[in-house]
Amino acid sequence: MKQPCSIVITGASSGIGAALARLYAAPGVSLALTGRDSARLEAVATDCRATGAGVVTAVVDAADRVAMADWLRSVDARTPVDLLIANAGVSAGTGDGGETEEQARRILAVNLDGVLNSVHPLLPAMRARGRGQIALMASLAGFRGLPGAPAYCASKAAVRVYGEALRGDLAGEGIELSVICPGFVKSRMTAVNRFPMPFLMETDAAARVIRRGLARNAARIGFPLPMVAAVWLLALLPPAWTDRLLRQAPRKP
């Protein structure tokens, strides 16, 4: 969709979500933003209002199915949603002594259930209108399981495949869907990494890539290209060739 006027962004209080909110903000645009940190979320909203955009905010946990459904339906009833960017996510790995069950379940609840909780409350109205666009935030980490972040990789792989399948399912109903697969992007999530991050991108640059991809209804928006190529090759190689190398890779805290 080239010029969405009513946009929902989850995980908008920092990182790519905040950058996308600021990028899309303009006179005549209505933004509905949610995140976990009320102070950071309101700072983003203030910036967006300064450009002339209308902004509503809510502090909602993406993993809370009922709260998300209530909020999204109220947003859509007030201003029918053109574009949903399901961006909310959390990250953690095995670098501090292994991944606990609690950590794994929380990552999957936010990253996977949070996507479902964002998409499904809006789908009936989009279907009834015969238009709309959905963007799901996956990751290049979803192409090959990495020992340093099992649950994170699993959650992003599920989001990627779910989105690719749902795109085909919705195409005949006038609803566009894109899966976003970033590499390393500067954010609070990557700031804790204690290892080199190849081709680390600035957040604003990543947001611009995403917006261009959504404007042309790209099926998959993967970046930066050198990381896309490296991950594609890694996913093609037999695990017997790559397991030893990946076991030696740095672990995410």
Instruction: Say which of 152, 162, 184, 223 is annotated catalytic.
Output: 152
pLDDT in tens, the chain (253 residues): 889 999 999 999 999 999 999 999 999 999 999 999 999 999 999 999 999 999 999 999 999 999 999 999 999 999 999 999 999 999 877 666 778 999 999 999 999 999 999 999 999 999 999 999 999 999 999 998 888 889 999 999 999 999 999 999 999 999 999 999 998 887 766 656 666 667 788 999 999 999 999 999 999 999 999 999 988 998 888 888 888 877 766 666 7
Domains of the chain: 6-247 (3.40.50.720)
Tell me if residue 152 is catalytic.
yes
pTM across the whole model: 0.92
What is the CA angle 136-225-206, rounded to 5? 50
Question: Tokens at residue 10, please?
Answer: 């989850």
